[in-house]
Chain A
Amino acid sequence: MVKVSEFLKEHGKPPREVYLDHENCGWVPPEVVEAMLPYFNKKGYGHPSITNLPGWEAYEVIESTIEKINKSINARDGELVLTHNGTEANNLAIIGSALARSKERNKIIISAIEHVSIIFPARSLEENGYRVVMIPVDKEGFVDPYMLSTLIDNETLMVSIQMVNHEIGTIQNIKELVETVKDKDDRIIFHTDAVDAYGRINIDVEELGIDLLTLSSHKIHGPRGVGALYVREGLKLKPIMHGALSTQKMWPSVENVPAIAGFSRAIDLAFTNFEDNVEKMKMLRDMLIEGILEEVPEVLLNGPTGEKRAPDNVNMSFLHVEGESITVELSLRGIYVSSGSACTSRVLEPSHVILAIGRKYEEAHGSILFKTSRYQKVEDIDYVLSQVPAAIERLRTISPLVRESRGILKKMVGT
């Protein structure tokens, strides 16, 4: 068996490091860690539903964090269910809604580019008589409201369309999609997975008219281990996890109080100077996109451009090279990214998102996701741009496809 420690020794610690994989897991700033520490052993280390001081202190963290989250998404009423991550919140949204209305309706509409924590729970319901309809997206990842309206019928139980796509940064017009659905039938539940929207674009649940909305701590430089589901007041869900209830009826087990305290601090940091934070992400994003397009031949930008793209999202397909080897090559150079390649997944299929926007398999295999952050500096992106062209060039010298593709081009020009 391969020893991880030996691998790490061979890899070595690069002298310079830039972390651009905030999509998958995040770097947590010291202020956030500091906010968590007291809740391990100084205060609030008790069980938040037990009647003793450390328990009440723990509950205070939960209460104040929920207030803060509600304020940040303009949720005046309603309920906020704390889970242990976005995946759990998405599962509760999909399965909890379906089970609560199992006697009435059975059709679930989701977009083709949802996160797998939406697709898999929806699919899992199919064996119990539910129907899942996947609505295709256009080449930038947008759902067409008219197409959505044609799919709605009196069997439709819920619609789930994410606010910002996690891989290609498409900012969906959720308000228009909610109106489309509610105009046809206001009893249909509308859920949006907003984990990649939170802290990047304004979210106002009242204005959007949304029923269910998912958030996750680690997407905004909070610790992993906390997710949240906003549930509109009066909407009935059925719990999907069963056990000893703590302070909430929809999700059992003791809340992860230190992580909730960290999430709370991360919210402060994301929403103080919100506009400046977003502008910084955008500036770094555009610098990265323009730099790569300028320096590296045969590259495709996946997803929309400008205001319709998430401020922190860069997704590029590097032709003739495979994404997993790009992540390894860049890691050796201290640049940490992820890929939509099949080789980085457990299922050996490339990213369904990149395929859904009409890219070919080989284009999906070469896709790399970079996410910029307000904690990065211009010099960090300069460093990335100094390494990416050389990294891609080295892998292209190994690949037989480069010569073949150029040979084909030559042949076409010749004839």
Chain B
Amino acid sequence: MSTRTPLIYTPKILDLFRNPRNLGRMEDATVSSQAGSPACGDVITIYLKIDGEKITDASFESYGCAANIAAASIITEMVRNKTLKEAWSITWEDVTNELGGLPSIKYHCSILAVGGLKRAIRKYFEEVRRERPEWLPENLSKEERQALEEEELIEKIYRKYGVAP
């Protein structure tokens, strides 16, 4: 396999970047969550409207590269009309495939989108339902951990370089 890493996007990503679906803050969201940090250069906010077990509406905001914007947008398309359990099972590979592929250096964009989604679902059960269904693991998922690690990493970098956040 080639070790070249061109920063090339699929037509789908460019289309979502130009015309993002489900963009913007949802005032009547049931739950919202954020993943990433401004210092890392990528932040995704996910808003979900939930009716019973079903996600009836989803929207996003994004601070990041074109791939980040596209990944956040596509995941809001993917979760619509899905049950919470179905939405939880979406992987970063699913998001990447839905985008038609990502340069390897941009995989973290789809990981962050899934991390944001899973955070929102977990938050919904913790704060709104105050119960944890059997399918929702007690420990953080891989993507939630990754988002957290990214947020903590920047603190370490700041300490290393002595730059004030």
Contacts and interface: CB of A to CB of B under 8 A. Distances in A.
B128 interface: no
A48 B65 CA distance: 47
Nearest to B102: A2
A328 B65 CA distance: 9
B121 to A, nearest CB: 19
A322 B39 contact: no
Contact of A400 (B17, B41, B62): B62
B163 A398 contact: no
B99 to A, nearest CB: 10
Contact of B63 (A9, A11, A344, A400): A400
Main secondary structure of the interface of A (DSSP, over half): helix
Contact of B11 (A9, A325, A349): A9
A100 B34 CA distance: 55
B74 interface: no
Nearest to A400: B61
A286 B136 CA distance: 57
A373 B103 CA distance: 32
Contacts of A362: 38-39, 41
Contacts of B157: 349, 361
Contact of B161 (A7, A322, A343, A355): A355
B111 to A, nearest CB: 13
B63 A401 contact: yes
Interface string B26-48: 00000000100011111101000
A307 to B, nearest CB: 29
B14 A360 contact: no
Given A2-B8, A325-B69, A343-B65, A365 B14 contact: no
**Residue in A1, A320, A346 with the greatest tally of chain B CB atoms within 10 Å:** A1
A398 B66 contact: no
Interface string B5-30: 11111110011011010011100000
A383 B103 CA distance: 32
Interface string A1-41: 11010110111000000000000000000000000000000
Contact of A4 (B6, B42, B100): B6
Contacts of B105: 346, 348
A237 interface: no
Between A355, A400, A403, the greatest number of chain B beta carbons within 10 A of the residue's beta carbon is seen for A400
A360 B163 contact: yes
B29 to A, nearest CB: 13
B154 interface: yes
Contact of A343 (B41, B100, B102, B164): B41
Contact of A322 (B5, B14, B24, B42): B42
Query: Which one of B9, B38, B43, B100 has the highest number of Cβ atoms from chain A below 10 Å of its Cβ?
Result: B38
Contacts of B18: 332
Contacts of B110: none
Contact of A403 (B23, B25, B102): B25
A398 B25 CA distance: 9
Interface string B62-84: 11111011000000000000000
Given A9-B11, A342-B41, A400-B45, A360 B165 contact: yes
Given A399-B61, A400-B45, A400-B61, A324 B66 contact: yes
B64 A325 contact: yes
Interface string A337-375: 000011110101110000100101110010000000000
Contact of A7 (B14, B34, B40, B64): B14
Given A341-B65, A355-B161, A322 B41 contact: yes
A2 B108 CA distance: 17
A401 B43 contact: yes
B105 to A, nearest CB: 7
Interface in A223-262: none
A321 interface: yes
Nearest to B45: A400
19 contacts: A2-B100, A4-B8, A6-B10, A6-B11, A7-B14, A10-B11, A322-B63, A325-B17, A325-B66, A325-B69, A328-B14, A343-B41, A346-B5, A361-B39, A361-B157, A361-B163, A362-B38, A398-B69, A400-B61
Interface of A: 1-2, 4, 6-7, 9-11, 320-322, 324-325, 328-329, 332, 341-344, 346, 348-350, 355, 358, 360-362, 365, 397-401, 403
